[in-house]
């Protein structure tokens, strides 16, 4: 029967073509379907996306931000999508017609909101994008994914700008912290000084307490003194009036003195003229520097000496008859003439009488007169010289007197002005005296109140101050401890923030980059999947093999048998041989077509082929049983079961995010194990022995069931009984 089955197949050209066509069904299904979606994510750059930029630049801390422009420039060189830059109207029309799959709009306030970091109410940046899922849902989703990446890129760029500002501010803050450290250290030193000052203030408080007592006593004395002053000033208004009257009399006397000074000044002028005349006359008498007075004194002395010599000669008995004596005589000048005469010996002739002694006596008398004359002349000249000196002194004194009179007149002018001011002051005093008296009365009353109330409050305040200074001293100690701790912490903070101010621009840029993108992803793939085609291949290969098996079981006469079958096992084997070969060829052709047309390259090609062949044989075994048992009803059930497997195998989406019913089906459908095995062999994943054992078990179970079915059917046919397939054929269901 086995030989006859194969001979019949090769002799039936149509059946052979059908079988060949069935063999390539999985290849066509997987190659075309997977080829249409082989690498869609690798071609996302071909999706046209419109970009409309309305952004306006803004300023952030002196830095001009034009994020919209920068973003547009960046997108021009970005191949993640096919970014186009049409007008807003063209972009909207293109989105409606499907020419653009997305429109990205950068609003006017994009940079402005980015610069509002330090504003009281900062606004978030809004990047608008519009999609049209009706034209292509997957494209819109891909665009949304690209937008998320774009969002991260923009966020990183904006964060970098923010971080730059923050780092610059931090550098300024670091400098401020350094200054603050100095200030805190000064504060610490000040706290120490404060503690010392409070201690001194405590001593001062004690002194204040003692001083308040003294102040109280002083206030008592002040109150008494003001009372006495009040009594003494009671007559002040009358005295002020009298003083004002006296000032008036003083004004009149000053005017009289001024008139007398004018008369004195006139007399002094006359006196100065007379003194000048007297001085000139005396100078004429005495000569220049007393020359004439000196000559007169010299002549008188010579006459005296000559007479003395004559007398001496005659007394000695000289026989000479005549003696010539040089003498000088000067005529007495009156006190007003000032004339002098020069007398010599040649001018005097003496007759010597007979009586010599009488002559000597006369000469002696003359000598005495000459001596008296000489003395008189000396006295005269001395008086004349003294008078001349006195005249000079008189002239100088008169000059000084005149200057004194002028000064006195000037002083009297000032005196008159002072008297006028005094008169004005006394008038004001007379007017203000009543108010002054009243003020002194009020002062006396106020002093009494101060003594009664102020000093008492001062004493109490001094006591409170003493207590407060004690508490302040305790607080100062706490402040000293706190400032010391603050100084140490500030020094630590300053050292930690110094990196912002001391660091180089390169270090700051590295810090900015860290802020902008603090996270780097290091991906390590346990397995490798080249593209979407390799990712979807396990699912579609399973579907393709299942569809091929259904097609084969529908098209191939699995239950036909010429005549009566002698053995159910041989009957089954004849059909199974073709079925198994077809199943294996389906798997091999499918893998070859995927490799040739789509570039399919699994990590473990041999295991992939083994899995495909095992899965195809297992699927064919299941299909063979149900189709041979139920005919086209069995094929219909397998078609329905394929749909169940599509849902339950989680071949497209993970099990965790699939429908709630999927976990209940997942372990009970063959696709679960073929998809798992294919994924492992394609990406180089885990061991697939469990999946292969499941497929082998499936093959064995349904092969045994099919063999039993053929044996039962062969037996019933041999007995001439009606079979289930016959009943189905009679009803057009086989």
Say how far apart CA 83 and CA 67 lie, in whole Å.
17
Other Cβ atoms within 10 Å of 568 Cβ, number = 21
CA–CA gap between residue 346 and residue 344 (Å, rounded):
5
Q: Which helix (H) or strand (E) holds 265?
A: helix 236-286
**Closest to 685 in 3D by CA, of 611, 598, 591, 616:** 611
CA distance 73 to 386: 125
User: Looking at residues 461-479, what average pLDDT do you find?
Assistant: 69
Angle between helices 532-555 and 13-36 (to 10 degrees): 160
Higher pLDDT, 645 or 525: 645
Q: Which residue has the tokens 């799959």?
A: 101
* 19-37 residue pLDDT tens: 888 899 899 888 888 888 7
- Sequence-separated (6 or more) residues with CB below 8 Å from residue 564: 717, 718
Neighbours of 448 (CB within 10 A): 17
Residue 116 DSSP label: G
Instruction: Find residue 64's DSSP bridge partners.
Output: 59
Most confident of 179-188, 346-355, 415-424, 698-707: 698-707
pLDDT at 334: 44
User: By C-alpha distance, which of 232, 252, 294 is closest to 415?
Assistant: 252
Q: How far apart are CA 725 and CA 734, in angstroms?
A: 6
State yes or no: pLDDT of 301 exceeds 50.
yes
348 has pLDDT over 70: no
| pLDDT band, residue 350 (cuts 50/70/90) | very low
State the angle between helix axes of 455-502 and 137-232 in degrees (0 to 180), rounded to the nearest 10. Answer: 150
The label of the residue with tokens 């399919």 reads 600
How do 63-65 and 128-131 pair as beta strands? unpaired
pLDDT computed for residue 7 by the predictor = 75
607-636 mean pLDDT: 93
Q: Is the pLDDT of residue 707 over 90?
A: yes
Its pTM stands at 0.52
Report the candidate in 198, 189, 199, 386 with the shortest Cα–Cα distance to residue 285.
386
Per-residue pLDDT tens over the stretch 3-19: 777 777 778 788 888 88
pLDDT value, residue 517: 64
For 47-88, give the secondary structure using H, E and C.
CEEEEEECCCCEEECCEEECHHHHHHHHHHCCCCCEEECCCH
Give the integer Cα–Cα distance in Å for 658 and 645.
13
Tell me, letter by letter, the H, E, C secondary structure of 470-484. Answer: HHHHHHHHHHHHHHH
| Best CA proximity match to 723, nearest among 706, 710, 732, 708 | 710
Structure confidence by residue, pLDDT tens digits, 134-162: 777 777 777 777 777 777 777 766 676 66
Share of the chain above pLDDT 90, in %: 19
Lowest-pLDDT choice from 52-56, 523-527, 673-677: 523-527
d(CA 307, CA 312) in angstroms, rounded, equals 9
DSSP 334: P
């Amino acid at each position: 029967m086995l030989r006859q089955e194969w001979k019949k197949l090769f002799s039936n050209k149509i059946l052979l073509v059908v079988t060949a066509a069935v063999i390539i069904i999985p290849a066509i299904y997987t190659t075309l379907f997977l080829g249409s979606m082989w690498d869609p994510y690798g071609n996302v750059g071909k999706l046209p996306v419109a970009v409309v930029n309305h952004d306006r630049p803004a300023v952030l801390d002196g830095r001009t931000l034009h994020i919209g422009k920068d973003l547009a420039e960046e997108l021009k060189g970005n191949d993640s999508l096919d970014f186009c830059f049409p007008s807003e109207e063209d972009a909207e029309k293109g989105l409606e017609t499907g020419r653009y799959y997305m429109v990205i709009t950068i609003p006017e306030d994009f940079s402005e909101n980015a610069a509002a970091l330090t504003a009281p109410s900062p606004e978030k940046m809004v990047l608008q994008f519009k999609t049209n899922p009706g034209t292509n849902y997957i494209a819109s989703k891909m665009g949304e994914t690209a937008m998320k990446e774009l969002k991260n890129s923009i966020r990183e760029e904006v964060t970098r700008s923010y971080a730059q500002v923050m780092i610059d501010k931090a550098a300024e803050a670091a400098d401020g912290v350094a200054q603050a450290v100095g200030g805190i250290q000064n504060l610490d030193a000040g706290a120490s000084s404060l503690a010392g000052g409070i201690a001194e203030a405590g001593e001062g408080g004690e002194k204040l307490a003692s001083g308040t007592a003294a102040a109280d006593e002083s206030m008592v004395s002040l109150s008494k003194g003001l009372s006495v002053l009040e009594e003494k000033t009671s007559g002040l208004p009358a005295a002020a009036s009298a003083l004002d009257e006296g000032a008036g009399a003083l004004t009149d006397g000053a005017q009289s003195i001024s008139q007398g000074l004018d008369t004195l000044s006139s007399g002094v002028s006359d006196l100065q003229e007379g003194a000048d005349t007297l001085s000139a006359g005396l100078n004429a008498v005495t000569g220049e520097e007393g020359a004439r007075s000196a000559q007169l004194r010299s002549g008188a002395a010579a006459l005296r000496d000559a007479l003395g010599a004559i007398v001496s000669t005659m007394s000695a008995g000289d026989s000479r008859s005549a003696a010539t004596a040089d003498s000088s005589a000067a005529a007495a000048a009156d006190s007003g003439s000032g004339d002098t005469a020069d007398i010599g010996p040649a001018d005097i002739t003496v007759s010597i009488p007979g009586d010599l002694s009488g002559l000597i006596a006369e000469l002696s008398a003359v000598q005495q007169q000459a001596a008296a004359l000489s003395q008189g002349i000396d006295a005269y000249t001395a008086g004349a010289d003294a008078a001349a000196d006195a005249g000079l002194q008189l002239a100088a004194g008169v000059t000084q007197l005149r200057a004194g009179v002028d000064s006195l007149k000037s002083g009297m002018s000032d005196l008159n002005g002072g008297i006028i001011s005094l008169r004005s002051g006394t008038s004001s005093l007379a007017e203000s005296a009543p108010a002054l008296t009243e003020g002194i009365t009020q002062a006396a009353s106020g002093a009494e109140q101060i003594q009664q109330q102020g000093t008492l409050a001062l004493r109490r305040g001094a006591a409170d101050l003493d207590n407060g200074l004690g508490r302040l001293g305790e607080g100062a100690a706490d402040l000293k401890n706190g400032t010391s701790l603050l100084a140490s912490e500030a020094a630590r903070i300053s050292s930690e923030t110094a990196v912002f101010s001391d660091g180089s621009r390169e270090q700051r840029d590295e810090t900015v980059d860290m802020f902008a993108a603090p996270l780097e992803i290091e991906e390590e793939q346990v397995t490798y999947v080249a593209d979407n085609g390799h990712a979807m291949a396990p699912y579609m290969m399973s579907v393709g093999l299942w569809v091929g098996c259904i097609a084969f079981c529908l098209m191939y006469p699995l239950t036909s048998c010429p005549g009566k079958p002698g053995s159910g096992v041989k009957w089954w084997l004849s059909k199974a041989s073709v079925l198994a070969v077809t199943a294996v060829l389906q798997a091999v052709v499918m893998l070859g077509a995927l490799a040739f047309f789509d570039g399919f390259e699994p990590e473990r090609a041999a295991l992939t082929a083994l899995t495909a062949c095992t899965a195809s044989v297992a699927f064919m075994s299941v299909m063979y049983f149900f189709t041979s048992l139920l005919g086209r009803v069995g094929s219909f059930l397998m078609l329905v079961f394929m749909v169940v497997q599509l849902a339950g195998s989680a071949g497209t989406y993970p099990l965790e995010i699939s429908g709630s019913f999927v976990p209940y089906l997942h372990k009970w459908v063959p696709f679960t194990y073929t998809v798992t095995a294919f994924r492992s062999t394609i990406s180089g994943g885990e061991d697939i022995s469990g999946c292969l054992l499941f497929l082998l078990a499936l093959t064995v179970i349904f092969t045994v069931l099919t063999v039993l079915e053929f044996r039962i059917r062969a037996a019933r046919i041999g007995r001439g009984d009606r079979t289930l397939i016959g009943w189905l054929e009679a009803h057009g269901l086989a």
